[in-house]
Structure 1
Amino acid sequence: MRRSPWAWLAVLTVLVLIAAAFWLRTSDEQGRAPAGTEASPAPATAKAPIRPDAPMPPADLPAAAQAILPVEARDMLALAEAGGVRAACRLGSLLASCGSLAPQFYSEETEAELRVMELSAAGEGDLQRANQLARAMLVVRTRRQHCHDLPGELLARAGGYLRQAALAGDREALVRYIRGDAFVGIGFSQAQTLHNPHFDQWRREALTMLHAGFEQGRPEAVLLLLEAHSDVGGPLALITPVDPLLDRAYLQLASLVFRDFALPDDFRPLHPDETLDRQARALALRWHREHFGGRQFSVGDATLGFGSAIRDLENRRWVGAGGWRPACTEAEETRQ
């Protein structure tokens, strides 16, 4: 299940199609620009120093940004800043989902370009690609509806709000935080991610949080460890050391912990290795006994927090996960 540094982008096919449509449109516009014109340089932005254990930035957004926030977002922001765990989880989840695609990609122009691409693919008989493009149009339209009024200053705080709720004991927020959902973004520069005040903190503590949940027998930790040791595990996979033995051991553990486990289609099967497989089996059996008491779960019991907070990109990786559900709305007893 090992990865190359950029292999995790395979799970973002729809988002990449959207980005491609945007670039095609902007390239076409640049090609039609009058001769002698030059693009204006991007304005310089000051980079805040990254400090260990940096606190979350103050919530006083500029007045103009506050004024355009949707009512629901303003309410969640006020409750989260007052210490509300559920509000921090919902707000962080929404901001992370909205931040997975740069605002320029969900414009009406990008949607129109996707429509042209869809019609072209259908005309050529490529129905699979046409369906992907139709889904991408839905994503653009839904993101525009939910995200277009959220300012960048607030989107950058997704990780902080998820961490706030996670440290208060919210299991869904903990999953979203550990996965690094707040740090996946098509159309954002590497500098925008690395200089996010919450990124360095997440990078240093995510694996520790993950292994703590694993030792407590949390079934969702097994799925997170599988993603961390895969080609398609997003930011979490990029900070996880390569270890062929653990790759196999967590995969074998999943088949013990989940009665309905199936390897996702986007995971690359491991090559047989008799020695490693035998050692991995021994580790998996010991972990199942010591950390999970030999219990079994269904995959649906462990996928809270694995899907998008916006109903456009459902969690289709884990068989048995069920359909889309709103973020951070489960009953309290299921969230501790």
Structure 2
Amino acid sequence: MNTLLPGLRALTLTPTLAPMLALALCFPVLGSLPARAAPAQAAPTPTFRTPALSPAADRTAAGAARLSASALLERARQAAGLPQSGLTLLHERVQISESGERGGAPTYLSDVWTDLAGQRLKMTDYTGDTLDSVHLLTPAASLLYTPQHGTVPVPPQRAEILRWNLRSGVGGLGAASQRGVRLRAAGTQTWLEDGPQPLRGAVLEVTWPDGAAWQYLLDPQTGRLLADRSADKDLGLLTFTYSDPRAASAVKVLPGGAPQALEERTLLLPGGEVLYREQVLTRELNPALPPRTFELPQLPQASGRAQ
């Protein structure tokens, strides 16, 4: 998502990104993780490809672009398998593989709770069974917990990156029908034109009550989410792309819910350079909320270890 996003360590910003983000990003979400080596037996992350539209599909894209914004959103929600009653709570477990120039591809796990109705987010990052960090975002505060240092505030700019997890992916599509959100059909567009795999589709732009805007690129034939990004001209340089869930090799059947295919989300620069990938291992839509989910751990005074 997602993002700070799930499990991505601090990035070394390029000259293009430095003015855009004056601090390191942590991505579902995303966590600010300490430097570390890759797990000894990190599970490989499958690579899914999102096909670009063929020239023959341009007429279909043009037809989709003529749909109203509300019709585009409804198609996208149906394609994502979102509940007709609305999506208020999302729980995902994701595996993150970070790309970089250091030669390795560390793999981490992140447990992400997204309360779309309450605009709350909690991301817990692990290496194996070891807790690395917990990010908590609420309308009132943004906090980071680590077993080494306890709880500290997250700077406002990083808190804004954390909020991307409330807007991107299926969570963003689910929240787009909430009160106070404005929708706009932005026509047919081609994204990642300078990359190896440009994507073309109908664009739905969503403006949230706080004024932030997010764009969703939708498959004109099915309404499936191909990619999304911030509508901000600088932050929009970073693009999330999504695999076709049908390409996943495994399917999770959740209690009381429909089968949910695994999905891969990739964060890309304009030229197609991969910053990180995350694979959704499990996804729950509107699950029961366990007590104290949106609370942070506490450092025990005696041992200094996280509970």
TM over 0.5, yes or no?
no
Higher helix share: 1
Scaled by the length of structure 1, what TM-score is found? 0.25
Higher strand share: 2
Question: Bigger radius of gyration, 1 or 2?
Answer: 1
